[in-house]
Amino acid sequence: MVNMKEDQEQLKALKRDWKQLDELGDCSPASLMEMKAQLASLKVKQKKKLYRELCIFLSIAVFILSMIVMGILKQPSLFIALQAGASLLAPMVLYVLFKRKKQEGKVYS
């Protein structure tokens, strides 16, 4: 008797869950025009993001290269200090990035 009641309760719970799933799946698909508009706006956003990232990358690259050239020509001691700092800082940055990537792979429950 107890098993029958438990089975009936489980069946009711399953039916309720299936009904909720059916209600979630009843959304109407977007029309072709809406999908094209969304795709076009997404392409524009990606293009703007690409240009912005490219400008940032180029400006940082020019700044770094100019600082290196200036350091080598004007103050060799500054260049040596930068190299020493980078050689000490790089392993720490790599460790943090590796740790972050390892944490992203975990599934949290």
Q: Of all residues in the chain, what percent carry a pLDDT higher than 70?
A: 89
Give the tens place of pLDDT for each residue, 68-81.
Answer: 888 788 888 877 88
Give the tens place of pLDDT for each residue, 52-69.
Answer: 999 999 999 999 998 888
- Mean pLDDT, rounded, for 84-99: 91
By CB atoms closer than 10 A (0-12, 13-18, 19+), residue 35 is exposed
Give the tens place of pLDDT for each residue, 43-52.
Answer: 999 999 999 9
